[in-house]
Structure 1
Amino acid sequence: MARREPREPMPGRYPVTFGEVDLLQDLDRSSGWVISKDGVPQSYVDLDDPTYLDFEYVRLMADVVDLLDEGPLDAVHVGGCACTLPRYVAATRPGSRQVVAEPDGGLVQLVRDQLRLKSVPRLKVKILDGRAATAELADASADLLVLDAFSGATMPIELATTEYMGDVARVLRPAGTLLVNVADGKGLAFARRVLATVGGVFPRVALLAEPGVLRGRRFGNLIVIASRAALPLPALTRRAAGGLTQARCVHGEDLVKFVAGARPLNDGDAVVVPVPPPAVFG
């Protein structure tokens, strides 16, 4: 029987469980596709080259993944959308087993139908929110947990608390790594509190971000890296400074000073999650 060619995606606006999303083709890369919601880009995938990462913060997370011990990974991704990083892990670390938690079932179906999600080997998607999905996972079952969950342009506060980080620590193996994508702007008050929270659970923590974001000059993404084992800080510092996305790696005393005075987040805290100004997305 002749092999059926994969269906080409169809750009347009699609209903999903929580509203509508736009599926847009990259004008510069015919195999590149963006999912956007309410004008906010949520995910970019290149269907022909899963190692091409268009979003700068995803490149930074991939730099961390590249520096983990060689071989397949047992990975958990809280927040899925088009599954950019799971595709990258599957391509660069064959044999990896991955679980994605994405609460929007309509969005998952759209990605299956339009963006070849079924082609990603050993990937399981759970239609659950992050806390429920994490609670189902076995103790010490993951080498990597990636927290990249947003409702529009804001991070769900329930995924940034001490209580949730404790469950994340339960799921990670002793040498496992946590990656958290945090978005913040002037003053970086929210990012500092997330770092204080993570640092209260994991003894080794570092931060990756572009200099302009670190100085609070513009709204942007910051990547928190945490583990109970030693982090590859020298290699990570070199990667961050010399990559396509030039960033700083903050750790040790510099990170202590950065976080100083910030209180950890706890369930039930009244917290204002930062929202990007309209100009960020044009």
Structure 2
Amino acid sequence: MSARRARSGSRTSPSPPTGPVPADTGTASFDAVPGDPHAYVLTLNGVPSSPYHAHDPEVLGFEYLRWIAHLTAAALPAGRSVRAVHIGGAACALPRHLDAIRPGSRQTVVEIDAALADWVRTHLDLPRSPALAIRAADGAVEITRFRPDSIDLIVRDAFAGDTTPAPLSSPAWFDAVHAALGPHGVYIANVADAADRSALRSEVDALRTRFSHVLAVAEPTQFRRRRRGNVVVAATHDPIDAHAVEAAVRGDGASVRSGAGLLSHLGPAHSRR
């Protein structure tokens, strides 16, 4: 099917059905958000997993998605179409957002839950292929199928419960990501960081051996080791303007760490895996 024209913020889409959603990997529900007649949230296995705004695809209801969008804007030239791969799709909030602000982009979502992917494609207002293709597949396998140096943006936002599946954080995974990205591409991952920082430490260590620049965005309390939470990590060969990202995420109360500041958060070198 041909791609739809780029959306605008004034587009009004039909209201999607709410309630239980078919899923192969557990339970799912798509529900309205009180206070906004156009906002919805997809919940997977009891965890709010993806926002959806029927009226304006540029609206990203979760702060970590806004962080990913700011990192993408800082790493890739504004207004330019991109070739993007999303590992983990849920309600495809970020692909819809990118389609709206970067007309002509080609994106692939890899979603392991085939029943959920079919429901999302059927009931939500998404760009059509080739603007947005959805593959029901294992992301760790599918990432190896992309041509070397062919992708501008890879986003990993996939979880088994509250952790990243092991195949999506293995040496083979990071090698495949590095191979698929072009020389000016960016890899961005949503990391569920624990109090001991082991998940973030492992992610950053793996990326630092493959990319020249690694940057992380989180709430300041997360960097001060006070609680568990999400950290968004970006890796590139080209420098990212950390000051620009810091200014962009400040509205969400987030802060940025890179270089020595990020390594200091990870703790002594001898404790890293």
Q: Give the alignment's TM-score, normalised by structure 2.
A: 0.89
- Among 19, 26, 39, the alignment partner of 1:19 is 26
Q: Secondary structure at the match of 2:195?
A: coil
Aligned partners of 2:202, 2:145: CA distance in 1, in Å? 27
- More moved, 9-18 vs 77-86: 9-18
**Secondary structure of residue in 2 paired with 1:131:** helix
- Which whole-Å deviations, capped at 9, do the CAs of 1:258-277 have from their partners, x for residues lacking one? 3333544xxxxxxxxxxxxx
1:218 and 1:129 mapped to 2: Cα distance?
31
Alignment partner of 1:221 is 2:224: no
Measured after TM superposition, the shift of residue 198 of structure 1 is 1.3
Structure 1 counterpart of 2:53: 46
Partner of 1:149: 158
Establish whether residue 140 from structure 1 lines up as the match of residue 156 from structure 2. Answer: no
Which of these residues, 51, 59, 67, is aligned with residue 66 of structure 2?
59
TM-aligned CA distance change 1:119 to 1:27, over 3 Å? farther
Taking the aligned partners of 2:30 and 2:271, their CA distance within structure 1 comes to: 39
* Aligned position for 1:267: none
The answer for unaligned runs of 5 or more in structure 2 is 1-11
**Structure 2 equivalent of residue 258 of structure 1:** 265
Counterparts of 1:23-102 in structure 2 under 5 Å? 23-67=30-74, 68-70=76-78, 71-102=80-111
Distance 1:127 1:38 in 2: 19
TM-score normalised to the size of structure 1? Answer: 0.86
Confirm or deny that 1:164 pairs with 2:168: no
Counterpart CA distance in 2 for 1:257 and 1:246 is: 21
Q: Distance in 1 between matches of 2:138 and 2:101?
A: 27
Count of matched residue pairs = 258
SS where residue 270 of structure 2 aligns? coil
Rate the CA distance shift 1:76–1:122 in 2: closer, same or farther, 3 A. Answer: same
Q: Is the 8 A contact 1:197 1:263 kept in 2?
A: no
Aligned pair partner of 2:215 in 188, 193, 206: 206
Q: Cα gap change, 1:6/1:61 in structure 2, threshold over 3 Å: closer, same or farther?
A: closer
Counterpart-to-counterpart distance in 1, 2:54 and 2:191? 26
Question: 1:229 offset after TM fit, Å?
Answer: 1.4
Partner deviation per Cα, 1:44-78 (whole Å, 9 max, x = no partner): 11011111111111111111122221211111101
Query: Contact (CA 8 Å) 1:189, 1:262: kept in 2 or not?
Result: no
TM-fit CA distance, 1:119? 5.6
Distance 1:261-1:86 versus aligned 2 partners, 3 A rule: farther
| Displacement of 1:6 | 6.0
Q: Secondary structure at the match of 1:29?
A: coil
Offset from partner CA, 1:123-160 (integer Å, 9 cap, x none): 01111111111011001111111011112322112111
C-alpha change, 1:184 and 1:230, in structure 2 (3 Å) is: same
**Given the alignment of the two structures, is residue 124 of structure 1 paired with residue 133 of structure 2, yes or no?**
yes
Displacement of 1:121: 6.8
The answer (yes or no) to whether the contact 2:27–2:46 under 8 Å persists in 1 is: no
Report deviation, 1:247.
1.2
In structure 2, the CA distance between the partners of 1:262 and 1:54, relative to structure 1 (3 Å rule), is farther
